[in-house]
Amino acid sequence: MVQVHGSAIERVSVIDDDPGSRELYSLYVEELSMQALRENGPFTSVEACVERVLGAAHAAISDFKLKVKTYASFNGAELVASLYDKKLPSILCTRFEFADLDEIRPYRQRIPALLRPDELDVDTIAHAFESCALEFRNEFVQTRKPWKTLIRIEDIHADPGREAAVDVCLPSWNRNVMVKLQRSELPEWMHAKLVADAHFYAVVNIGAERPEDLYFSKWSES
């Protein structure tokens, strides 16, 4: 059992289309003296999965690619973000490729814990659930704390077969690293103003250590 701000986490739903991964994640959960609920699926909607988890567990660990074996009709980012809305501590654990960030980024603000399988262990699980609980109280660890910051448009491009994207620079985070955002992630009022060297502002967790941990919200011109 894990205690998070006076609330006991005793049961954890483990959601993954691969039985081997479900078993491995469950062993970590059980090492923390919590019960692992191995969710076999299939799930026809994210709403049905959320209802199932809320009715049975106090927290969840989910893989990202849930659609591969018709295990679910949604991906893990959408699920974890939906559980965040219900204030249920959840971890998105995935061996993601950078292309997957296009799907994860729109939900990233509501995913406090994004871990690769080799990062998952008893310590990171407990810490992740703690980070979630803090955010539910509007408290943030340094890597998740939101700040209004300047964003500079560096380049606009369209890869074959993919929607238009923009490369942005965050001088207050790391001026040497470009972050790619899909055009659909930006508010519609920005679309006609997307030119190289244009400047905007957004609320971003500039304490993040990795590009994949950044989230963007509340875009504005000043």
CATH number at residue 214: 2.40.50
Same-domain check for residues 61 and 103:
yes
pLDDT, average across residues 22-34 = 94
Per-residue pLDDT at 41: 87
Domain count, the chain: 2
Per-residue pLDDT at 6: 67
Same-domain check for residues 149 and 122:
no
Same-domain check for residues 135 and 149:
no
Shortest CA distance to 83 belongs to which of 102, 104, 67, 59? 59
DSSP structure class, residue 148: E
Residue 197: count of CB within 10 angstroms of its CB:
8
Same-domain check for residues 57 and 129:
yes
pLDDT band, residue 164 (cuts 50/70/90): confident
Same-domain check for residues 73 and 119:
yes
Same-domain check for residues 17 and 119:
yes
Matching residue, tokens 């955010």:
135
Per-residue pLDDT at 17: 94
Per-residue pLDDT at 168: 97
Per-residue pLDDT at 68: 82
Per-residue pLDDT at 162: 66
Full residue range of the structural domain in which residue 216 is found:
144-220
pLDDT, average across residues 182-198 = 93
Secondary structure (3-state) at 179 = strand
- What lies within 8 Å, CB to CB, of 106 at 6+ separation is 77, 182, 184, 185
Per-residue pLDDT at 98: 62
Secondary structure (3-state) at 135 = helix
Domain boundary among the residues 75, 107, 139 is at: 139
Per-residue pLDDT at 161: 63
Per-residue pLDDT at 54: 97
E strand segments, the chain: 2-4, 7-9, 11-15, 35-39, 59-62, 90-93, 114-115, 147-158, 164-170, 174-182, 199-204, 216-220
Same-domain check for residues 111 and 28:
yes
Q: Are 155 and 164 in contact (CB under 8 A)?
A: no
Residue 159 has pLDDT above 70, yes or no: no
pTM over 0.85: yes
pLDDT, average across residues 75-102 = 90
Domain boundary among the residues 106, 124, 139 is at: 139
Q: State pLDDT tens for residues 89-113.
A: 999 998 866 667 888 999 999 999 9
Same-domain check for residues 94 and 156:
no
Cα–Cα distances in angstroms (integers) from residue 123 to residues 29, 61, 64, 97, 120, in the given order: 10, 14, 21, 24, 8
